[in-house]
Structure 1
Amino acid sequence: MLSQSVYTLVNQQNGNLAFKLFEFDNNSYFDHIQRNNYFTLILITSGEGTAKVDFCDYSFKENTLFAFYPYQPFMLSAKKPLMGISIQFHHDFFCIYRHHQEIAANGILFNNIYQQPFVYLDESSKNTIIHLIREIARELKDEAFRKDEVLVSYLKILLVMATRIKLEQQSLQGAAKDKGKQQFMIQNLKNAIEDNFRVKHSASDYADLLNQTPASLARFTKNHFNKTLSDLITERIIVEAKRELYLTDKTIKEIAYELGYEDEYYFSRLFKNKTDISPQIYRNTIGFNRGES
Structure 2
Amino acid sequence: MNQSASVKDIPIHQLNDRTSGGVEIKYFKKDEVQKEEPLGAHRDDHYIFFLMETGNASLMIDFDELFLTPASIYYILPGQVHYRIRNGAAAGWFIAIDPLIIPPSCRNVFEDHLLLQKPIALNEEQFGQCSRLLHLLEEKYRECNENPFYNAIVHSLLKAFLAIAASYFNCASNAIARPSRPAQLSQEFKKLLVQNLKTIKSPSEYAELLNVSESYLNEALKKITGFTVSYWITYEVMLEAKRLLYYSQLTVKEVAHSLGYEDHAYFSRLFKRAANVTALEFRIRYRK
**What TM-score results when the alignment is normalised by the length of structure 1?**
0.52
The residue that corresponds to 2:140 in the other structure is 139
Secondary structure class of the residue paired with 2:174: helix
The residue that corresponds to 2:98 in the other structure is 90
The residue that corresponds to 1:160 in the other structure is 163
The residue that corresponds to 2:258 in the other structure is 269
Secondary structure class of the residue paired with 1:43: strand
Equivalent of 1:200, from 182, 192, 203?
A: 203
Q: How has the CA–CA distance of structure 1 residues 27 and 109 changed in structure 2, closer, same or farther, with 3 Å as cutoff?
A: farther
Secondary structure class of the residue paired with 2:110: coil
Q: How has the CA–CA distance of structure 1 residues 126 and 230 changed in structure 2, closer, same or farther, with 3 Å as cutoff?
A: same
Amino acid at match of 2:140: E
Secondary structure class of the residue paired with 2:91: strand
The residue that corresponds to 1:59 in the other structure is 67
Paired residues of 2:33 and 2:88 also in contact (CA < 8 A)? no
The residue that corresponds to 1:254 in the other structure is none
The residue that corresponds to 2:58 in the other structure is 50
Equivalent of 1:69, from 70, 77, 80?
A: 77
Q: How has the CA–CA distance of structure 1 residues 195 and 47 changed in structure 2, closer, same or farther, with 3 Å as cutoff?
A: closer
Amino acid at match of 1:63: A
The residue that corresponds to 1:252 in the other structure is none
Distance 1:78 1:145 in 2: 41
Aligned residues: 196
The residue that corresponds to 2:46 in the other structure is 38
Distance 1:155 1:190 in 2: 28
**What TM-score results when the alignment is normalised by the length of structure 2?**
0.53
Alpha-carbon shift at residue 158 of structure 1 (Å): 0.5
Find out whether 1:28 has 2:36 as its counterpart.
no
Alpha-carbon shift at residue 86 of structure 1 (Å): 0.6
User: Please, which moves more after superposition, 146-155 or 68-77?
Assistant: 68-77
Distance 2:161 2:78 in 1: 18
Find out whether 1:124 has 2:125 as its counterpart.
yes
Alpha-carbon shift at residue 124 of structure 1 (Å): 1.1
The residue that corresponds to 2:23 in the other structure is 19
Paired residues of 1:30 and 1:75 also in contact (CA < 8 A)? no
Alpha-carbon shift at residue 236 of structure 1 (Å): 11
How big is each residue's C-alpha offset from its partner over 1:136-159, in whole Å with a ceiling of 9 and x where there is no partner?
Answer: 112123333321111111111110
Alpha-carbon shift at residue 168 of structure 1 (Å): 0.9
Distance 1:234 1:135 in 2: 42
Distance 1:191 1:40 in 2: 20
The residue that corresponds to 1:288 in the other structure is none
Distance 2:256 2:152 in 1: 38
Secondary structure class of the residue paired with 1:62: coil
Amino acid at match of 1:113: L
The residue that corresponds to 2:284 in the other structure is none
Q: Aligned-residue CA RMSD in angstroms? A: 4.6
Task: Give the percent of matched residue pairs that are identical in Structure 1 and Structure 2.
Answer: 12
How big is each residue's C-alpha offset from its partner over 1:35-92, in whole Å with a ceiling of 9 and x where there is no partner?
Answer: 233321111111224321122222331222121233322223227721111111335x
Distance 2:111 2:149 in 1: 27
Paired residues of 1:68 and 1:110 also in contact (CA < 8 A)? no
Paired residues of 1:40 and 1:87 also in contact (CA < 8 A)? yes
Secondary structure class of the residue paired with 1:81: coil
Q: How has the CA–CA distance of structure 1 residues 168 and 142 changed in structure 2, closer, same or farther, with 3 Å as cutoff?
A: same
